[in-house]
Amino acid sequence: MNNAVTVPETGAHSLSGSALLTANRQICVVIPTYNRVDRLRMLLSQLSTQVIPKGYDLLPLVVNDGSPDDTEQMLRKEFPFYFFLTGPGSWWWTKSVNEGMKYALMHFHPDYFLFLNDDSQLSSGYLLKLMKASETAGANSIIASLSVNDTLPHQVSFSGVRSINWRTLKKETYHKNFELLEHLPSSGLVPTYALNGRGTLISAGIIQKLGFLNERAFPQYGSDDDLALRAWEKGIPVLLSYSCHVYDSLHDTSRGNPFRQDPLPVFIKSFFTWHSVNYIPKQFRFFSRHGIRILLPFYMVKFIGGTAYAYFFKYKKTTP
């Protein structure tokens, strides 16, 4: 095993070199984290017990964006064979993922990247199913996973987007939000015009071709959906695998999201907080890039009205 090495320019720490000594294809798992040491520990423990597909090596890379808790100490003590980067606390999700990928490309030359959130949980066969889906779809595809809440009964919060009608801004999903997991197919691949970031597998060649995630326009939310639409524009299929499930604590993220039913002042503030899921300029930038420009005023009215409706009515008595 290699000794720990610090790279001052990026705050990078190499905790192991063993995965770099084989001729296998490498899957670099990029995990941005901030102040969630306990949940991160659980995810890394699950990664360490994954069954690795034949011909592949797993390279976990944690991007610790200035966590004030014991994240760095935990990584050094409990996962000395993993890698981590240290950010200044201002990278947020999108730049953290980008910095992780760029560092890995420079030093490790991985074949694939897998994005996971620090509150994600995985079943022991997740990676096998994910790589099987990738091989079925072909190397020139992006693979997304179902997002499922981590409490019983398991409900699905992301099952893919079948289509987007930009004239009416109607987004058709394959299944309703928070539908029971048991009601969904157990296998199969379907095209999706959105991503959720959790459990996204993308080849190194594709992410470089697309120019990485857009960290300037979408520092915290929106860069995954933007990536999906940019991929389709370049003829790169984005497919969701029904057999791949990532379990998340939905109430520990996305403050202001209507389903959380946060206090009203928190919900209202979310429209004006730049790193919020509801941030108005973020939505405007997204619609400007992918929608019909003349319809921008309509888009914004529909977004604000629809989000308010979901908060006050749709999820008032049906929070997961």
User: What pLDDT was estimated at residue 203?
Assistant: 97
Distance (Å, whole) CA 198 – CA 156: 13
Using DSSP's 3-state secondary structure scheme, residue 98 falls into helix
Mean pLDDT value of segment 284-291: 97
User: What pLDDT was estimated at residue 10?
Assistant: 39
User: Residue type for 65, please?
Assistant: D
User: Residue type for 69, please?
Assistant: D
Residue 94: both structure tokens together = 């999108």
Mind listing the pLDDT tens digit for each residue in 160-208? 999 999 999 999 999 998 999 999 999 999 999 999 989 999 999 999 9
- pLDDT of 8 strictly over 60: no
Mean pLDDT value of segment 207-222: 97
Mean pLDDT value of segment 239-266: 89
- pLDDT of 11 strictly over 50: no
- DSSP labels, 244-263: EEEEE-GGGS-TT-GGG---
Distance (Å, whole) CA 316 – CA 60: 39
Mean pLDDT value of segment 19-47: 89
Distance (Å, whole) CA 312 – CA 314: 7
Domains with residue ranges and CATH for the chain: 5-251 (3.90.550.60), 258-314 (no CATH)
User: What pLDDT was estimated at residue 9?
Assistant: 35
User: What pLDDT was estimated at residue 14?
Assistant: 38
Dihedral sign computed on CA atoms, order 12, 230, 300, 252: negative
- pLDDT of 17 strictly over 80: no
Mean pLDDT value of segment 287-295: 97
Confidence of residue 22 (pLDDT cuts 50, 70, 90): low
User: Within 13 Å, how many C-alpha atoms sit on residue 111's CB side?
Assistant: 15
306's CB contacts (< 8 A; 6+ apart) are none
pTM of the model: 0.91
Mean pLDDT value of segment 22-28: 87
User: What pLDDT was estimated at residue 315?
Assistant: 84
Mind listing the pLDDT tens digit for each residue in 50-108? 999 999 999 999 999 999 999 999 999 999 989 999 999 999 999 999 999 999 999 99
Confidence of residue 23 (pLDDT cuts 50, 70, 90): confident
Mean pLDDT value of segment 130-152: 94
User: What pLDDT was estimated at residue 2?
Assistant: 26
Q: Provide the mean pLDDT of the chain.
A: 90
User: What pLDDT was estimated at residue 85?
Assistant: 94
60's CB contacts (< 8 A; 6+ apart) are 28, 29, 31, 44, 47, 79, 82, 83
Residue 237: both structure tokens together = 């299929």
- pLDDT of 1 strictly over 70: no
